[in-house]
Structure 1
Amino acid sequence: MSCEYSPMARLLWLKGCAMKKILVATHGRLASGVKSVAEVLLHEDSAITVVDCYVDESDPNEQIAAFIDGVRPEDDALIVTDLLGGSVCNMVTAMQPEKHGIVHVTGFNIALILECLITGEAFTPEYIDSVIAQASTSMRRVVLRAGGATDTDDDFFG
């Protein structure tokens, strides 16, 4: 589990300001991969805490509970898990994070995580629902057309 914060995040915490906190808890090392992607694309990953479940003898219940206990009422907090109905999702659900003002999302993609990291919006259920709707539109089957062009709505590099 990682709990390192950038100097700015530490300063905000010391001043008692709201902090953005995202826990990514997954089977295997997917959570660490998500944190790595955030660092590569945004050069910022301090808001992300990871729990890579079932890769060693550590107890993910303790790590997740520690995250929940560390969220203050003024913080914006989100927990994302990898698979609806999976053991990690069920573990988080049993801890009832919503009673602590924490939104729980399962079945995420990278677009959802990145949007939550860069937004200035509070992590309200309504806002997170809109991010889920937006992020789910970024998943598509890519089809090559004649000449090697892809059949997508826009040309990212062009």
Structure 2
Amino acid sequence: MRRILLASHGHFASGLKSSIDILAGESSGVTAIDAYVDNSDYTAAIREFIDSCTPNDEAVIFTDILGGSVFQKVALEQPEHHGVMHVTGMNLAVVMECLLTPEKLTKESVDEICAAAASQLRRVQVLNEEATDNSGEGFFS
């Protein structure tokens, strides 16, 4: 089974899950942890996710910020020792691709998915005035 945990500061994780549910349909394989929205300790939820994964699962934990406190809590649980991959810097593109790819999730395939998602991150600049006439014509030319 493919299992994904989204863990973030604030409501980013549940917001991302909401977007996934809209775009890909209700996904029971995706769990969200919104850290620091109340005084509860979310470490147990991370541990529970890791412990519930079996060797046959394709499991990935996504965190929001490299080196951030949520990242650190996940890293301290050493998910890789349980066959669970940890990816940080999550965005909708990388999570959707990991969720929907028909390919088996391996370290190599997840690295490729991360590289492809990172290549989509860029500053957008409209290069011609035709695109600003609100007609939609010329925007993608």
Q: Which amino acid aligns with 2:81?
A: K
Q: Which residue, out of 136, 143, 151, partners 2:118?
A: 136
> What stretches of structure 1 move > 3 A for 4+ residues in a row?
none
For residues 144 and 85 of structure 1, what CA distance do their matches in structure 2 show? 34
How many residues are treated as equivalent by the alignment? 135
Structure 1: give runs of 5+ residues left out of the alignment.
1-18
2:49 corresponds to 1:47: no
Q: Which residue of 2 aligns with 1:111?
A: 93
SS of 2:124's partner is coil
SS of 1:24's partner is strand
Deviation at 1:51, TM superposition (A): 0.5
2:39 corresponds to 1:57: yes
Q: Matches of residues 70-81 of structure 1 in structure 2 within 5 Å? A: 70-81=52-63
Deviation at 1:148, TM superposition (A): 4.7
Q: Which residue of 2 aligns with 1:35?
A: 17
- Cα deviation 1:66-100 (Å, max 9, x = unaligned): 10011011000000000001000011001000000
For residues 129 and 77 of structure 1, what CA distance do their matches in structure 2 show? 14
- Cα deviation 1:93-149 (Å, max 9, x = unaligned): 010000000110001211001101111222211111000000011111110123253
For residues 121 and 69 of structure 2, what CA distance do their matches in structure 1 show? 24
Please report the TM-score for the alignment, with normalisation by the length of structure 2. 0.90
CA RMSD of aligned residues (A): 1.7
Percentage of pairs with the same residue: 47
Structure 2: give runs of 5+ residues left out of the alignment.
133-138
Deviation at 1:47, TM superposition (A): 1.4
2:72 corresponds to 1:97: no
SS of 1:33's partner is helix
Deviation at 1:46, TM superposition (A): 1.6
